[in-house]
Amino acid sequence: MSDQGIAQYHMRPVVQVGPGAIAGIPTLFKGAGAGRVVLLSDAGLTAAGIVDKVAQVFAGESAADGVELAGIFTEITENSSCRSVDEAVRYAKGLDADGILAVGGGSVLDAAKGIKYCLHHGLDDMAEIMKDGLKLVAWPEAQPTGIAHVAVPTTAGTGAEVSAAAVFYNERNNLKCNLVAPFIEADFAVLDAELTLGLPPHLTASTGMDAMTHALEAICSPIATPLTDAHAFAAAQLIERALPIAVRNGQDLQARQTMLQASSMAINAFINALNAIPVHNCSHAFGGLYRVPHGEANCALLPIVMEAMPDYYRPQARRLAKGLNMNVDDQDDGAVLSKVIARLRAFQSEIGGSRDFARFGIATTDVPKIVSAIESDPAGVFYAIPRESVQMIAERVIGR
């Protein structure tokens, strides 16, 4: 944990929490000065009826006068492809929209940030913006956009509703790319667990493990502070307790609501302690090469990366154990790390999470390509994983 220099802690969105909270969305837009709102989502949530459920709040008694749902765009693709961002930008411009309502998982919520960034700067080519793989924009260069933005997560995993960072898939160079900039995050995050009740167990598990990975990587960050620790430890401990319940009983509203809050806290800790993120470094590479869903990738990789990088994780072993609600008194750090890895593997089994990528049929001959992708991923700019560790991770996680 860092004890030197000047640290900054950023969390701008106002967070509204509770079943039925979506009813107040029109009032949020009115208060933010928006009159023409575009709803962004994807085809799956349209088919599930979630898009219609949210859209109806603009016609109900709680709808605010002067706020119109001007249009609905549901073509956001998995992994928030740059192409779908460009299409949505054109759609929003055509509506003269001054408000963005993002309803979905991480892909939709991140795409909305890219759309807002493009609208604010008068841009229309997300792949060009992200051509280098990583774009960091800092204040005062970054300024408020003037575009009202409400985010409604339908999964408890990415925490993208509150983070000033977004991940996109750039089809031109086959890379997962990262945009980090103040003010791209939502003005308001609405955490309504009723929208997550239909999420299947396997998606509940994988998205929940994305949140767990955010929390644990924040705990291990070389620049963690008491502020990031407060959210990281609370999030990890809540997830360890609530995720198995949400997987076993998807209708448990309390467990679902707890997971939404833990997800928001975890990403906030992760972004504010952003530095070494070896698990995400590897996840991005597999997502870019094989479209491995991000939560599933993090779930499988988490114990494997820890096992392959003992020198990095050993000094953090007791902090990791605390995050997982473990009692590890009177043991050396190496023994504690072994117990943490064993606990994560048991947790994978408990929630039915992926332990490797065998289902993707990745050939052992692809290992050199995987190693290259991990080493060239933009996340490696913060911390370069040792080559021998990268090799070990690739060989173990493909499940051959």
Average pLDDT over residues 379-386: 92
What distance in Å separates the CA atoms of residue 370 and residue 390, rounded to the nearest whole number?
A: 9
Q: Please list, residue by residue across 389-398, b when 16 or more beta carbons sit within 10 angstroms of its beta carbon and e when fewer do.
A: bbbbbbbbbb
Query: Is the confidence at residue 78, as pLDDT, over 90?
Result: no
The domain defined by 201-397 folds into: Dehydroquinate synthase-like, alpha domain (1.20.1090)
Please, what is the Cα angle at 105 between 235 and 90, to 5 degrees?
135
Please, what is the Cα angle at 233 between 309 and 199, to 5 degrees?
90
pLDDT tens, 286-320? 998 999 999 999 999 999 999 999 999 999 999 99
pLDDT tens, 4-50? 577 778 889 999 999 999 999 999 999 999 999 999 999 999 999 99
User: In terms of CATH architecture, what is 21-191?
Assistant: 3-Layer(aba) Sandwich (3.40)
Strands across the sheet containing 14-17: 14-17, 188-191, 148-153, 99-104, 36-40, 68-73
In the chain, residues under CATH classification 3.40.50.1970 are 21-191
In the chain, residues under CATH classification 1.20.1090.10 are 201-397
pLDDT value for 176: 84
pLDDT tens, 192-215? 999 999 899 999 999 999 999 999
329 or 249: which leads in pLDDT:
249
Average pLDDT over residues 239-262: 98
pLDDT value for 297: 97
pLDDT value for 4: 56
Average pLDDT over residues 109-122: 97
What distance in Å separates the CA atoms of residue 387 and residue 381, rounded to the nearest whole number?
A: 15
